[in-house]
Amino acid sequence: MNKKRRRFHFSPMIDGSSFFIFGMVAAVSFFAGRDFVAQRAEEAIMPGPGLTSMRQLSDYFPPLRGTAGDTGIFVFEGAEAGGNVLILGGAHPNEPAGYVSAILLIENVRLARGRLFVVPRANASGFTHGDPQEGAPQRFGIETPQGTRFFRLGSRVTNSIHQWPDPTLYITPTGQKLAGIEARNLNRAYPGLPRGSLTERVAHAVMELIRKERIDLGIDLHESAPEYPVINAIVFHENSSDLAALAQMALQGEGYEFRLEASPQNLRGLSHREWGDAAGIKAVLIETPNASHGRIKGRPSASLVVDGRDPYYVKAAGLGRLFVPFGPEGIPLRHRVARHLAGVEAVLGALSELEPEKAVGLEGLPSAADVEAQGLGAFLRPPRL
């Protein structure tokens, strides 16, 4: 009987060292937890006077409401009737030029004609974490005249705490077999599934937005690693070949070289394929070169994201291993965003030339030359201090 009592006897040793350890646990948990939770916070986007309304992706697919996949849509409407255009940034949250370009549009443009829908954080869940084992910074800063504005650098894929586990093989809604991690890649999940995974439901919601708003043209803003062949390119659905070719000519006139890449018919799940196939809209994807998510880079840092300088890429360029020129000056974010803005302007110009009734009259868009010369901070609103 006594033995049993001893076995369950409550005799903790509450001494100074226990208190010290618990205190340290509380302090470390607090500071580490604060950093961890900060990843989930969305930084403020401050729309310019051109914004006419705000919507949520879940307005087009209500089951998405309250989930990590729901995200904001910034709507600009012109006084005159015209075309409807969708611009997606942040489908891959580790490709910051697409995200920052979308924000620059939101904070600057007005519409004289047509309607423009901008989704800056297309994969909102992807912004709440980073790619594992990459050591990537959580955020990067852009200097504005009134101070530094910080932006999240996320992961290419949906957060695994929102969608888990990954299958061994991912079969896209259109039957393409891919590696399991691609199950969380928004740009492999189109046209989505209403009862699929979170990523597939987000893709379905984007398709619902396209169908319900009668979108005529979709532009998906991305970046790729300098060693990846599809780079500095406009990838187009075959129904948009004229549009892409016209845009390319206009861009060449401005001094921007863009390759034209036809969307392969047997590469399924991507925006430039499925937006065209499933919804019949014109679809293009624009790629700029980003050293910060390439495989050859050295130490990842916020400065690599913003300044785009990396000695290992310079060496790789010297060995002829890259698909873009890469000098010691690097490829800074302001140049990549300028390319995106020039690309958007050229594609919209081509649309108005080919189908004048679907023209979108965009005003206030910073010119690529101004962005290159004055930097991004000159066109971003001041940070909220």
Question: What are the residues binding another protein (CB under 8 A)?
Answer: 11-14, 17-18, 21-22, 24-25, 28-29, 32-33, 36-37, 68, 161-162
29 or 265: CB nearest another protein:
29
CB of 35 to another protein, least distance (A): 10
Q: How far apart are CA 71 and CA 77, in angstroms?
A: 20
Q: How far apart are CA 235 and CA 250, in angstroms?
A: 16
CB of 17 to another protein, least distance (A): 5
24 or 41: CB nearest another protein:
24
Q: Check if the beta carbon of residue 254 is closer than 8 Å to that of residue 350.
A: no
CB of 16 to another protein, least distance (A): 10
Closest CA to 78 of 48, 104, 54, 109: 109
CB of 138 to another protein, least distance (A): 15
CB of 58 to another protein, least distance (A): 18
Q: Parallel, antiparallel, or unpaired: how do β-strands 110-119 and 282-289 relate?
A: unpaired
1 or 10: CB nearest another protein:
10
CB of 136 to another protein, least distance (A): 20
CB of 55 to another protein, least distance (A): 25
163 or 232: CB nearest another protein:
163
160 or 174: CB nearest another protein:
160
130 or 218: CB nearest another protein:
130
β-strand partners of 148: 143
Amino acid at 114: G
Amino acid at 266: N
11 or 133: CB nearest another protein:
11
